[in-house]
Copies of this chain bind each other. A is one copy, B any other.
């Protein structure tokens, strides 16, 4: 079943702590499985509307658990984590910036995604603010001018909406979410299972 060389889809929401943690594990995972990850940021807002879910931290009982678990899971992986003061946030600007860059230079888009995640989950910067996204793009060595004028472009908005719709059609309902050869894996704690699945070609 496992198609060597075929990309594995890696869906994530920029406001998701577990998505951030997965992004920090992604390069090593890619090496270990010998298959490229296709980074695909999504927006959980419209997905949660469909599924009737709410952000984890807003749920009774699950909220305090999640809050503790974000930093505990980060520490387990020896990753920096500082829970952002403003949480969760809307990340449509971050998403648009990613796909705009992706259509020009996928490696630069991945670099931007990492910088955005670090800004939010390490440096406590509010990446829900489009200006902050542009500043972070500039700090990453990208030219923010063209991006700045593209960010409200209807074509780019439609591009992001299309990505979210495609994710929903593929069954993505959380972050991180991986799909390998049609098989879905939800959650950073499922990376070992994904890895095993890809290696063995399922079971």
Q: Point out residues on A near B: beta carbons under 8 Å.
A: 47, 50-53, 59-62, 64-65, 68, 72-73, 75-76, 168, 171-173, 184, 186-187, 189-190, 192-193, 196, 203
Contacts and interface: CB of A to CB of B under 8 A. Distances in A.
Contacts of A171: 61, 64-65
A196 B187 CA distance: 19
**Most B-side CB within 10 Å, residue of A47, A73, A168, A193:** A193
A63 to B, nearest CB: 9
Nearest to A200: B76
A118 to B, nearest CB: 22
Contacts of A64: 171
A190 B193 contact: no
23 contacts: A47-B61, A50-B60, A51-B59, A51-B60, A51-B61, A51-B62, A52-B59, A52-B60, A53-B62, A60-B173, A61-B171, A61-B173, A65-B184, A65-B186, A73-B193, A76-B193, A76-B196, A76-B203, A187-B189, A189-B189, A189-B190, A189-B193, A192-B192
A52 B190 CA distance: 25
A184 B64 CA distance: 11
A3 B75 CA distance: 21
Nearest to A172: B61
A21 B8 CA distance: 28
Contacts of A189: 187, 189-190, 193
